[in-house]
Structure 1
Amino acid sequence: MVTGLFKKLFNIRDRTEQVKFTGKTSGEKRQQTSQKKFSPVIEVSPKLAAESQLDLSALFYSLLFTTNHTGSEGIANNLERNVMQSIELALSSPQDIAENVLKLPNKILELDKKLADDEIDIQELILLIEQDPLLCVEVLKLCNSPAFKRAENDVTSIQQALVLVGRVQLRQFITTCLARELIDIKPIYFRRFGAEVWRHSMQVAFLASELAPKEQRDSIFILGLLHDVGKIAIFKLLLDAFYQAEPGEQPNSALFKQVMTTKSLTLSALLARYWQLPSHFETPLNVLANTHVKPSDDIALIIWKANIISECSMLLQFDKLPHSALVVLLAQVELTEEEFSELHQKLIKF
């Protein structure tokens, strides 16, 4: 059912009509739209596509920071200015971030390579995974989660997981658990940020792997998990800045949200290069870093679309997405509101 929806996402056409981000919230429009069998298809120009996605990403930060008010449009406070200076330093020296702020687990690519080897013996593979008890626990949690559970009874062993979910899905679960180590938000107040960013990354990985051609699904799943590592790195810089900030200072301004949106993707690409990830990871991230242009690269476009769908879903869940904005964004991925609603019900289980 979900796979059928994604088949409609290919062959996105550039459109010309412009629609502004104004109007009622999705909650106020939900009853009206539920009565329509098909939502009207609007025209979206390439320029509007890029602008609306940037607006969406900036709005997405309202989920990540627990603030009580909206800051000024263009004035950054001292906290934000300090973080933006740190971001510029990080962009000029990504190795410092990779080594001291956001270290990629050494075993993630090594184990993924072994999991991709069809020649490796199944029992050898199981023993390899079971050498890490914490990894096993996390994998079994994923197998039994509402988003992925396939059997009535709980999965209780790696061997059982291999039988029930298959080797490809198990590989994705293991990669997910290893990549999860990148987010280690210790202060309780800020754990929501880590939880929401990770949930978003999982959704993008899932959506992208469904969108991708079969032979590319495994690698694009990892790309979906890692596309937001720059955002995680910047937030860890923000945590350091909080210790020196004035009481009550929060990252509220629209300017700061725009910087977080544009610079985080650039930092993701730089980190991929420093980690020496394969070019099929780094190249799409470099394309995505140009936030003012809708991607033309096939892989980057898939991540771009998956990101839009996930951010729309998460904002809709908290009734923070204006209906007029949702209409524009869904037009870019050729989803009707009914199709998106069905997909949204799947994503909220993550």
Structure 2
Amino acid sequence: MLFSSPFLVIPLAHKLANMFTRLLNKLFNKTPKTASNLYYFEDSRKVSTLDDEHKCQGVETQPKPISYRSFEDEYQQAFYDYLLGASPSQALTNNDELTDYITEKIQALLKQPKLILAALPILPASLTAIIAQLDNANFDTDELINLIQQEPVIAAKVIELANSSYYNRQQKAITELKSAFMLLGAKGLVEGVINGFISKMVPQSNVYFRQYGEKIWQHSLLTGINAKSIVQQSPLQGSAAQAYFIGLISHLGDLIIYQLMLGAFAIVHPDCQPNAASFKDMMAKNSKKLTYLIAKYWQFPPAILEVLALQAKMKKAALLPTLYKNRPLACYLYEANIISELQSRQKQFPLESQTIDDVANNLLFSEEAKLLLSQLLASTSLAKA
């Protein structure tokens, strides 16, 4: 049985931030709140001669060159650059003592995922009901609406979706749930509930994080939409709703790890930005595994856990033919993420046609995914440079 509990009105982002702050305070042995100096890292190492720039960047010694072994490695690195901003120069990146210090602490925490999971909220009752009925076209809509009405944050997101230009072509204001359902339909209501919960896990603590949070949320949304679109064109079209849900939650690990890093900086040096290459590498290596552990902690159905587990195990697109043969839904999700990364980067800086061709030839396998990419290329949403 999935967790079920009334949904607290307190925003998830705020609740998570408070929980992770307490966790990080223990991890970093923060000085008392009465202390005026927040630069714990420098104080703890008795460093008082470095200026703020050196505190953020460290002291250059012997730079180690960064190399990427394949087109796929470079592609993933470029996407994290899009999300978090370009990393500092190689010299500074590889010799930033503060970055090394925080990376070591976060990695130690990632080896104890139970501590992270304990800080997560339980699932709201409406999302629990949705997960149990993802591929059931005959679920009790009235019961779901009654659950949503008890959860103001989720209800607000459903009404917001009903007022979006995608659904509300006549631009008639929708102010209550029953009208929203009449407009959205059962599938739209499902998407609204899922979006409402996941989007509220995107913290908005400061300008830098809001920018990142918006990017990762849009990436999650695109992954869900792409996964649904690919599955709708496949023999598994009955699992389109499940594909959308899995795509939407598939980047929870990125959100949690980034929030931990941001919280760590707030403790040891609040003026630095967590955009070093080592952080991106840590996110790339751990985020999918953490996503799976979160889903397992929330007791998602085995079919969903299996797809997420395979995402964590997939290291190279070269394995897609085997994955497609044995677990096509997992293959579709992997490809949906690749296409979403391409869409996100293309919005910021138009990519060369050769890059897009390389993605199609090297990182996609299924005909359904390649068809979706062709459709996007033919539309204004992903025009060739």
Q: Taking structure 1 as the reference length, what is the TM-score of the superposition?
A: 0.73
Q: Distance in 2 between matches of 1:271 and 1:244?
A: 25
Match of 1:204 among 205, 223, 226: 223
Instruction: Mark the CA change 1:87 to 1:246 in structure 2 (over 3 Å): closer, same or farther.
Output: closer
Query: Are 1:134 and 2:153 matched, yes or no?
Result: yes
Please state whether the residue corresponding to 2:129 is helix, strand or coil: helix
Match of 2:340 among 289, 305, 310: 310
Residue identity opposite 1:52 in structure 2: F
Q: Which residue of 2 aligns with 1:240?
A: 263
Query: Are 1:259 and 2:279 matched, yes or no?
Result: no
Instruction: Mark the CA change 1:89 to 1:123 in structure 2 (over 3 Å): closer, same or farther.
Output: same
Cα-to-partner distance string for 1:84-117 (whole Å, 9 max, x where unaligned) = 32443343221211122x4353435423157656
Q: Which residue of 2 aligns with 1:341?
A: 377
User: Greater CA deviation, 144-153 or 269-278?
Assistant: 144-153
Instruction: Mark the CA change 1:241 to 1:128 in structure 2 (over 3 Å): closer, same or farther.
Output: closer
Q: Which residue of 2 aligns with 1:293?
A: 316
Query: Are 1:195 and 2:231 matched, yes or no?
Result: no
Q: Which residue of 1 aligns with 2:191?
A: 172
Residue identity opposite 1:340 in structure 2: L
Q: Distance in 2 between matches of 1:180 and 1:91?
A: 23
Q: Distance in 1 between matches of 2:331 and 2:92?
A: 29
Q: Which runs of 5+ in 2 are unaligned?
A: 1-68
Q: Distance in 1 between matches of 2:378 and 2:229?
A: 15
Instruction: Mark the CA change 1:122 to 1:339 in structure 2 (over 3 Å): closer, same or farther.
Output: closer
Match of 2:295 among 244, 252, 272: 272
Q: Which residue of 1 aligns with 2:5?
A: none
Q: Distance in 1 between matches of 2:149 and 2:357?
A: 47
Query: Are 1:112 and 2:148 matched, yes or no?
Result: no
Correspondence 1:82-121 to 2 at 5 A: 82-100=101-119, 102-107=120-125, 109-113=127-131, 121=140
Which entry has the higher C-alpha Rg, 1 or 2?
2
Please state whether the residue corresponding to 1:145 is helix, strand or coil: coil
Instruction: Mark the CA change 1:96 to 1:307 in structure 2 (over 3 Å): closer, same or farther.
Output: same
Query: Are 1:146 and 2:176 matched, yes or no?
Result: no
Is the 2:376–2:382 contact (alpha carbons within 8 Å) kept by the matching residues of 1? no
Residue identity opposite 2:370 in structure 1: E
Residue identity opposite 2:161 in structure 1: L
Cα displacement (A) at 1:318: 0.8
Structure number with higher relative contact order (C-alpha < 8 Å, ≥ 6 residues apart): 1
Cα displacement (A) at 1:133: 3.1
Q: Distance in 2 between matches of 1:316 and 1:136?
A: 33
Query: Are 1:327 and 2:357 matched, yes or no?
Result: yes
Q: Distance in 2 between matches of 1:230 and 1:142?
A: 25
Cα-to-partner distance string for 1:138-186 (whole Å, 9 max, x where unaligned) = 1111222234444443433322222222102211111110222222232
Q: Distance in 2 between matches of 1:106 and 1:76?
A: 44
* Identity value in percent: 24
Please state whether the residue corresponding to 1:334 is helix, strand or coil: helix
Q: Which residue of 2 aligns with 1:158?
A: 177
User: Greater CA deviation, 85-94 or 264-273?
Assistant: 85-94
User: Greater CA deviation, 112-121 or 222-231?
Assistant: 112-121
Q: Which residue of 2 aligns with 1:38?
A: none
Instruction: Mark the CA change 1:132 to 1:336 in structure 2 (over 3 Å): closer, same or farther.
Output: closer
Structure 1 consecutive aligned stretches of length 4 or more whose deviation exceeds 6 Å: none
Query: Are 1:231 and 2:267 matched, yes or no?
Result: no
Cα-to-partner distance string for 1:258-308 (whole Å, 9 max, x where unaligned) = 332122112212222222222222222222123422241312211111111
Tell me the C-alpha RMSD between the 2 structures: 3.1
Residue identity opposite 1:242 in structure 2: F
Cα displacement (A) at 1:253: 3.9
Cα displacement (A) at 1:232: 0.8
Instruction: Mark the CA change 1:180 to 1:338 in structure 2 (over 3 Å): closer, same or farther.
Output: closer
Residue identity opposite 2:281 in structure 1: Q
Q: Distance in 2 between matches of 1:120 and 1:338?
A: 35
Q: Which runs of 5+ in 1 are unaligned?
A: 1-49
Q: Distance in 1 between matches of 2:333 and 2:89?
A: 29
Instruction: Mark the CA change 1:76 to 1:342 in structure 2 (over 3 Å): closer, same or farther.
Output: farther
Cα displacement (A) at 1:55: 2.5
Instruction: Mark the CA change 1:265 to 1:319 in structure 2 (over 3 Å): closer, same or farther.
Output: same
Is the 2:220–2:249 contact (alpha carbons within 8 Å) kept by the matching residues of 1? yes
Query: Are 1:220 and 2:256 matched, yes or no?
Result: no
Q: Distance in 2 between matches of 1:189 and 1:88?
A: 23
Q: Taking structure 2 as the reference length, what is the TM-score of the superposition?
A: 0.67
Q: In the comparison of the two structures, how many residue pairs are matched?
A: 297
Is the 1:229–1:268 contact (alpha carbons within 8 Å) kept by the matching residues of 2? yes
Cα displacement (A) at 1:313: 0.9
Is the 2:87–2:276 contact (alpha carbons within 8 Å) kept by the matching residues of 1? no
Q: Which residue of 2 aligns with 1:14?
A: none
Instruction: Mark the CA change 1:178 to 1:99 in structure 2 (over 3 Å): closer, same or farther.
Output: same
